[in-house]
Amino acid sequence: MERFEKLLDNYIDQLPESRVREAMRYSLLAGGKRVRPLLLYTALQGYGINEEKGDPFAAALEMIHTYSLIHDDLPAMDNDDLRRGRPTCHKQFDEATAILAGDGLLTYAFEVASSADTDDHTRLGCVNVLARMAGAGGMVLGQDLDMNEIEGITAWEDLKRIHHNKTGCLLSAPLMMACVIADHEADMEKWHELGEKLGLAFQVQDDIMDIRLTPEQFGKSTSDENNDKVTSVRLLGIDEAEYLMNRLYEECMKMADTFSGFDSRALKDLIEKIKTRTN
């Protein structure tokens, strides 16, 4: 992903010099797994399309994901000190700069995506997916549910709704964008479903790691445990959560084989890598 890291750095370089720009760069280029861009590139590969066609959309996805992490870490939300193995944005800079850095990444993501060098139908379709999956009916809804309903949750179905939105929507987005770029929009909702399932598996895996790993091993604060949040592990028990995680990943693998005109091998390899990640 070295090419992608340079791509992100070049986009940030195009902004006017400021403290906010440096905070944006600090968080955006802090590493991370780059799961969302990888999903887009891998899905494009499955459709036989050069990954560079997805560059602006991959960058926009990572900007929105990073903005969500910056805001999620703020004192008003999870109040975390560690992200991607180093101080969170508001700890490294200050709270006001962190808020502005998140705002900057969110709005810049749409500038980058809407300026993509492609046909109008593809550009508009991808921007629409990005807005729907990131907005008040997607990831933001999940964050709201997480902040305001989590303490009263006693049923797995309610927790699943949070994870489908908070995590699943931004994992669905790259898969849905790939089908727009490949002109396979008839499969849009099916890709959405796969992304939701993948997001649920990913979040259950995070809940397990939150218990088993130290913050240094995990690369971020284990705030769910510290904040006494309801998690899949707390609700189901660690053995049941691990069984569920493995079953969901297996369902994702099987589902990847069901798309027409799509070679699923690279996507299944990526899902396996996500399943076996150590942080």
Amino acid code (one letter) for 207: D
Mean pLDDT of the chain: 92
C-alpha dihedral (96, 99, 105, 111), degrees to nearest 10: -90
115 alpha-carbon distance from chain centroid: 22
Return the minimum-mean-pLDDT range out of 22-36, 69-83, 112-126, 203-217.
Answer: 203-217
Report all structural domains of the chain as residue ranges with CATH numbers, in order of start: 2-275 (1.10.600.10)
Which helix (H) or strand (E) segment is 83 a member of?
A: strand 82-83
φ/ψ of 86, rounded to 5, equals: -150, 170
Query: What pLDDT is stored for residue 221 in this prediction?
Result: 57
Reported as a single tens digit per residue, the pLDDT across 130-169 is: 999 999 999 999 999 888 766 677 788 889 999 999 999 9
Query: What pLDDT is stored for residue 219 in this prediction?
Result: 56
278 alpha-carbon distance from chain centroid: 17
**Percentage of the chain with pLDDT > 90?**
80
Query: What pLDDT is stored for residue 110 in this prediction?
Result: 98
| Rounded mean pLDDT, 193-201 | 97
SS3 46: helix
Which helix (H) or strand (E) segment is 57 a member of?
A: helix 55-72
| Rounded mean pLDDT, 7-29 | 98
Query: What pLDDT is stored for residue 223 in this prediction?
Result: 52
Query: What pLDDT is stored for residue 151 in this prediction?
Result: 62
Cβ atoms of 274 and 35 within 8 Å: the answer is yes
Q: Is the pLDDT of residue 19 over 80?
A: yes
- Reported as half-sphere exposure (CB side, CA atoms, 13 A), residue 88 has a value of 28
Reported as a single tens digit per residue, the pLDDT across 60-114 is: 999 999 999 999 999 999 899 988 889 999 999 999 999 999 999 999 999 999 9
CA 206/CA 224 separation, integer angstroms: 10
Cβ atoms of 30 and 9 within 8 Å: the answer is no
Which helix (H) or strand (E) segment is 192 a member of?
A: helix 188-212
| Rounded mean pLDDT, 26-43 | 95
User: What is the reported pTM?
Assistant: 0.93
SS3 166: helix
90's tokens: 């508001």
CA 21/CA 26 separation, integer angstroms: 9
CA 58/CA 7 separation, integer angstroms: 10
Cβ atoms of 187 and 260 within 8 Å: the answer is yes
Reported as a single tens digit per residue, the pLDDT across 164-184 is: 999 999 999 999 999 999 999
Q: At what angle do helices 139-149 and 120-134 cross, to 10 degrees?
A: 0
Query: What pLDDT is stored for residue 147 in this prediction?
Result: 84
Query: What pLDDT is stored for residue 215 in this prediction?
Result: 64
Q: Is the pLDDT of residue 125 over 60?
A: yes
16's tokens: 């006017």
Closest CA to 13 of 2, 3, 24, 4: 24
Query: What pLDDT is stored for residue 150 in this prediction?
Result: 61
Reported as a single tens digit per residue, the pLDDT across 229-272 is: 788 998 899 999 999 999 999 999 999 999 999 999 999 999 99
CA 124/CA 126 separation, integer angstroms: 6
| Rounded mean pLDDT, 219-227 | 54
